[in-house]
Amino acid sequence: MARADVSPKPASSNSLAAVPTSRYLTFFAIAIAGCAVDLVSKQWVFAWRGLPRPDNRWWIVQDRFGIETSINPGALFGMGAGYWWVFAILSVVAALGILTWLFVFGAARDRWLNVALAFVMGGIGGNLYDRLGLWDSTGLPAHLHHGVRDWILFVWPEIKLQIFNPWPNFNIADSLLVTGAIMLVVHALVWREPKPEQPAA
């Protein structure tokens, strides 16, 4: 009588168990820290400089780099103003997609990809908080109650394109999103984490 094969089968490459615990810790540490830094910095700057108003610039490098509070009621460059709920839904969908891809389908095994998407998640969290109107927008018009708080200002008058002079104000969450996006491009075009050697049959 043939003996049944009772040897343990290797975990599927797509299984949740295949993602090391360190990847969870790295991802959530970066995402939570990034989101926290964004929210704390916005709270501090707006408490210090107040709501947006004329002549509210404070220069770190004169006429180049400074701080100026502003409210963005839309998305990139103010596009889609008034449709905060659309961007909020898209943010939630993107966050769920990231978590599913990393920890259900196992993409978090790739260290670079795990860190890149942690930056993206931190940025999503910081701006989603504002879009949901969870910050104190007392004193602002109703259409700004779900706007995103921005405060980092760049001015480079030598660049003649209007969009760069000044560059639209942004925040730490935007910086996290851009950093994560650049890392994803590098990952796609240049970098691959070495795969572990397969054991001999």
- Matching residue, tokens 């701080």: 67
Q: Which of 38, 110, 130, 150 is catalytic?
A: 150
Catalytic residue of the set 38, 110, 130, 174: 174
Tell me whether residue 200 is in a domain: no
Question: What is the distance between the alpha carbons of residues 142 and 148, in angstroms, rounded to a whole number?
Answer: 13
Q: Is residue 3 part of a domain?
A: no
**Cα–Cα distances in angstroms (integers) from residue 182 to residues 179, 187, 188, in the given order:** 5, 9, 10
Cα gap 116→126, rounded to integer Å: 16
In a domain, 53, yes or no: yes
**Residue ranges making up the domain that contains 122:** 19-189
Convert the pLDDT of each residue in 46-103 to its tens digit: 999 999 998 899 999 998 999 999 999 877 666 667 788 999 999 999 999 999 999 9
Supply the pLDDT for residue 77: 61
Of the listed ranges 32-46, 73-87, 134-148, the least confidently predicted one is 73-87
Examine residue 140 and state whether it is found in any structural domain, yes or no.
yes
The number of domains in the chain is 1
- Does 70 map to a domain? yes
CA distance 118 to 175: 13
Q: Model confidence at 10, in pLDDT bands (50, 70, 90)?
A: very low
Q: Give residue 190's pLDDT.
A: 84
What is residue 191's predicted lDDT score, i.e. its pLDDT? 65
55 is catalytic: no
Is residue 198 assigned to a domain? no
- Tell me how far apart the 2 most distant CA atoms of the chain are, in Å: 89
- pLDDT, position 15: 47
Q: Which 3 state secondary structure label does DSSP give 122? A: helix
CB 172 within 8 A of CB 151: no
* DSSP code at position 164: G
Asked whether residue 61 is assigned to any structural domain, the reply reads yes
Whether 110 is catalytic: no
Tell me how far apart the alpha carbons of residues 155 and 71 are, in angstroms, rounded to a whole number: 18
| Lookup: tokens for 174 | 């935007």
The predicted structure's pLDDT at residue 65: 94
